[in-house]
Structure 1
């Protein structure tokens, strides 16, 4: 299991140094310009074969792969192949220069075919994925909380991948009295999990803050049922916190238990209560809520299984390790605790890790 975003988005991505729209010639003019260049290079090769080899066509083909549609790429590559055949058959040209060109064409055509599935040009596709990743992270930004309340979150992806299945969605009431949050973990790792995370995040974003708290997880489960999500499942924990009274309700969908730090006893204790099944597995599943109160000095910790899971060890052992690490870290206070747990997660780089902590002064 895994899922989330990199612990931070690179600064260059945040600055959006890529322009909103890349300047390019559209449609027929672009195609004619590329074909004219191809023919010019082919003619020049016939005259100065020793000076202008066939591999000179590679940059032009790369330009077509980047900016043209798949149909246009096929047309350009067809003309290039015709030029190669002409050089070989009628001009007695050797295959020494043609072989590197053929290999390059095969690789570029594979890229063009893959790109055609999402219908975006190469740079536009990269920018689109970066934008979606940034938007998903922004959906989990924790708003400024009232005096006396604090929250931190931290994420890390498996093997430093750009995409993951762990994410959080946050909503607060306009009056600032209530904070609502879902931390989810989509099965799998990498881009496949990241794609499903985007789908689930969109559904949760439309539910959290608008539906009553006890309906958030059931509605997410219904969405995955309607979506016929056969690729996997997702676990999630939903927290609804009253920032005036400290009363909190927590519901779990197959997720590791939330932990509450009791400042009075100086101990971390799990929130007891039945957990519902993971999202997308059982139609009309129920997700009972556990209730607690965060008094001054208390904290609530939610996390994904990448922090407590490791090969050859059960989850209870992982939870004991996490609570021991959290208890030792509390000598320096709550700030930085979420990042410390993520950085030291039992799964290490083999899985995504995420943690969110909310505490009260």
Structure 2
């Protein structure tokens, strides 16, 4: 079994040595110290204009942005602006000389404002997002399968974004006989879709493995109905596989059909029975299950529409391309097929792409 993941979020955001937060002082000592430093630099600039430029205030402002609350940042930046105005009026300092400082202030204030929205100080917000992303991928990690069974998954995000709307959730029974998985595709792309993916993944994680297989998609649909998503919907495919008998059930919620490779005939067969609507669109929707059996040499492929969808081409053409690419790799076996399909997905970098394949020796 192998799992191929996309390039991770910025490495520095997940380093274990990165502090979860730097000291944050909400009282007056730090504020007074910063203001005193601003005043000292301003006086030094008046005395030694050529030696101490106004841009020397940037490190002090950066310190305030990192350690102070938004209200304190405003006070510090206000003091800096007073110093800039004084220099413009009473010295020969021109606008060109103050421009780098003003641009730096604008950027740092934007960072301070953004940090105040999520309430996490300094690097803690970045670390938190990195942890959430890692947890989302961990929820879909395929466990070690019994002898003779193998699985592989691969993901790629639109334009290399850190978050995506494509994800999978996996669960196995305590005895290891049954493998259950949901591959979902939240509408949209990038961070907006990634936020909704985190919410839906949490809901699916509480359902899969605890509810009966035929209730997983209806319960996910009920969750989205209660949550009243204004931003969109989600498609999903649910797979339940008996690792002893090879019997599998597949239910789809507006998702592209799963593909079953029949080693006996050497062909890929779509499991495109009566598919239900996408999650969050129709109350009390039903999601019929398609049944199949994976014998030795067989494989089951599930994927998202980023693999087969492209502008100016219909989905059937994309499916034909995908099956052609899969057929071409059969001489070397199934390992690496998911990665190949994701790398060559018809949508390219314009959309998120995901594929999961399970096969039996």
> Does TM, scored on the shorter chain, surpass 0.5?
yes
Q: Deviations over 1:200-236 (max 9, x none)?
A: 1111111111111111111111111111111111110
The more displaced of 304-313 and 57-66 is 57-66
Give 5+ residue unaligned stretches, structure 2. none
Instruction: State how far apart, in whole Å, the 2-side matches of 1:355 and 1:171 are.
Output: 17
Quote the offset at 1:258 in angstroms: 0.3
Instruction: State how far apart, in whole Å, the 2-side matches of 1:108 and 1:13 are.
Output: 20
Secondary structure of residue in 1 paired with 2:269: strand
The more displaced of 243-252 and 106-115 is 106-115
Aligned position for 2:15:
16
Aligned position for 2:161:
161
Instruction: State how far apart, in whole Å, the 2-side matches of 1:45 and 1:233 are.
Output: 58
Aligned position for 1:182:
182
Instruction: State how far apart, in whole Å, the 2-side matches of 1:38 and 1:130 are.
Output: 35
Instruction: State how far apart, in whole Å, the 2-side matches of 1:20 and 1:89 are.
Output: 43
Aligned position for 2:25:
26
Residue 252 (1) aligns with residue 252 (2): yes
Secondary structure of residue in 2 paired with 1:97: helix
Quote the offset at 1:14 in angstroms: 9.1
Quote the offset at 1:63 in angstroms: 2.0
Instruction: State how far apart, in whole Å, the 2-side matches of 1:122 and 1:325 are.
Output: 46
Aligned position for 1:270:
270
Aligned position for 2:286:
286
> Retained in 2: the 8 A contact 1:184–1:236?
yes
Instruction: State how far apart, in whole Å, the 1-side matches of 2:197 and 2:73 are.
Output: 33
Aligned position for 1:295:
295
TM-score by length of 2: 0.93
Cα–Cα, structure 1 residues 165 and 84, in superposed 2: closer, same or farther, change >3 Å? same
The more displaced of 35-44 and 5-14 is 5-14
Aligned position for 2:307:
307
Instruction: State how far apart, in whole Å, the 1-side matches of 2:14 and 2:93 are.
Output: 50
- The CA RMSD measured in Å over matched residues stands at 1.9
Q: Deviations over 1:22-63 (max 9, x none)?
A: 442422233233222212212222222221111111121122
> Retained in 2: the 8 A contact 1:6–1:162?
no
Quote the offset at 1:17 in angstroms: 4.3
Instruction: State how far apart, in whole Å, the 1-side matches of 2:358 and 2:350 are.
Output: 27
Q: Deviations over 1:130-158 (max 9, x none)?
A: 11111111111000011111100011111
Quote the offset at 1:184 in angstroms: 0.6
Number of matched residues? 357
> Retained in 1: the 8 A contact 2:22–2:122?
no
Aligned position for 2:62:
62
The more displaced of 48-57 and 90-99 is 90-99
Instruction: State how far apart, in whole Å, the 2-side matches of 1:116 and 1:6 are.
Output: 32
Give 5+ residue unaligned stretches, structure 1. none
The more displaced of 294-303 and 121-130 is 121-130
Secondary structure of residue in 1 paired with 2:309: coil
